[in-house]
Every structure is written in structure tokens, then in C-alpha cells.
Amino acid sequence: MTMPKISAYIIAYNDEPNIEGAVKSVLWADEVVLVDSYSTDRTAAIAEELGARVVQIPFEGFGKLRTSAIASTRYEWVFSLDTDERCTDAARQEMQRIVNSADAADAYYVPRRNHFMGRWIRHCGWYPDYRQPQLFRRDALVFSEDMVHENYTVNGRIGHLVNFIYQEPYRDLSHMCRKLERYSTLGAEKVRIRGESSTMWKALAHGMAAFIRIYFSKRGFLDGWPGFVIAFGNFEHTFYKYAKRAEQIRTEKAA
């Protein structure tokens, strides 16, 4: 009997510091596909040197990118990894047991153990921090075309892995600020596509709600200063997302 094969895909753009560790953590897969959006650094070259197959796809939002990534894979099962994540040996072994099981579900959430500012973040909604099914049958997961924080539909049964993978979403505070800038811009575009209006007061209200949710409701205060920084970062991301949309509206009216 032929054992099911696993394709691992990684989406990337100009992430030279992270790509080597990400690719090496999934070299156990039957194929590794780097879905690159024309990086200008050595991201694609490093992945190719390590044995990954590189596919270049223009960035038109994360939803479309993930759909294209799945289409670029060859095998029945797909494991999705971001460049700031690392697959652990325990998670690998569990995934290999799952795909060889007769009663396997169709898609699995994978717990992520996040590190930030030198410590494991246990609160803030950062553990187990399921972002979307990361192990799934190739035809079981369908993404929307959202620019960021893409929605998805699972065709079939859903399960959860026990063993976690690692994630380090920000290398330092400067990296965090750069990501917040990019994601707030993409978020503003998502708000525009939804046809949603915004004002600066609305931006402030949404930002404050985001801070309260992370710092108090999700007990970020128990993570010390890192918890505060994460909650404040969520305030900034949310505030600027709606503030940028308000700025777009003002510009359109002035034109």
C-alpha cells in the first residue's frame, strides 16, 4: 500500500533572516514549495539551495496567495508553514501518523507556541493560537480572496494536533512596527472592499476595544511587558487600519 505524501508550502517575501530555519524544519516533507512574491533579497535563492521548489506569484492579497500556493503543490496532504514558524519533531511525527491513519479528518488546526521579547507568551490569545488549518487534504481547504486575515471554508471533518510548532512573529520591536504598518494598510483595503465607512472616532473606538480584548479579556497583563506591547500593538494595528480608511474617504471627497 502506498503511503500518502505530504507537500509543505511556505509563503514568503523578503524574509532572508527567517527562510533557512523555516525550510529546514520541513525538509522531511515529500516536497517543499516556496511561494515567493518576487523577493528582492536572497529569500528565494536560499530556499532553492536547500532543496525547495520555488514558485513566483505576484502578491494580490493573502487569500489569493494561499489559493495559488495550494494549487502549486502536488500531493494529497498539504502542510502550510509561515516563514516565522518552525515545525517541531513532535509535530512532524504526529502529522505523519495522521496522514497514515484510516480515520484521519480532512483538516487540522496546529497549536503554535509563540515567543516574543525573550519569553513564551502564554496569554494574549497567543497560545495555542490556531490561525487556520495548517495540515489538510489538498481539496479540503478553500480560501476567500481577502487581502489579509483571510477567511476560509473547510470541506470535511476538522481535527486538532496535540503537539505544537514554534513561532517568533517579530524579531524585535522595529520588525513589529514594520509589520504593523504593512498589515494596517492591507486591513484598510479590506475595510474598503467590504464597503465599510470610517472616521477617526471609529478608529479610536476600535483600537481601544482591541487593546481591552487582548490585555484584559485574554489576560495579556499576565505576560508582563511583552503582554502590554502585544496589546498596544493590536491597538495600533486596529486604529491605523480604520484611520487609513478614514483618510481614504477624506481624499476621495476632496478629489
Q: For the domain that residue 156 is a member of, what is the CATH number? A: 3.90.550.10
Is the same domain home to 41 and 143? yes
Confidence at residue 104, expressed as pLDDT on a 0 to 100 scale: 97
Is the same domain home to 13 and 139? yes
Confidence at residue 140, expressed as pLDDT on a 0 to 100 scale: 97
pLDDT along the chain (255 residues), means of 10: 90 96 98 98 98 97 95 98 98 98 97 97 96 96 89 97 97 95 95 95 98 98 98 98 97 90
Cα 215 from Cα 193, distance rounded (Å): 29
Confidence at residue 148, expressed as pLDDT on a 0 to 100 scale: 84
Tally the domains of the chain.
Answer: 2
Confidence at residue 149, expressed as pLDDT on a 0 to 100 scale: 83
Confidence at residue 1, expressed as pLDDT on a 0 to 100 scale: 60
Cα 92 from Cα 59, distance rounded (Å): 29
Is the same domain home to 96 and 50? yes
In-domain check, residue 156: yes
Is the same domain home to 62 and 155? yes
End position of a domain, from candidates 133, 167, 201: 167
End position of a domain, from candidates 142, 167, 192: 167
Confidence at residue 145, expressed as pLDDT on a 0 to 100 scale: 87
In-domain check, residue 110: yes
Is the same domain home to 23 and 73? yes
Is the same domain home to 225 and 104? no
Is the same domain home to 202 and 84? no
End position of a domain, from candidates 114, 139, 167: 167
In-domain check, residue 193: yes
Is the same domain home to 43 and 119? yes
Is the same domain home to 226 and 133? no
Domain that holds residue 60: 6-167
In-domain check, residue 1: no
In-domain check, residue 73: yes
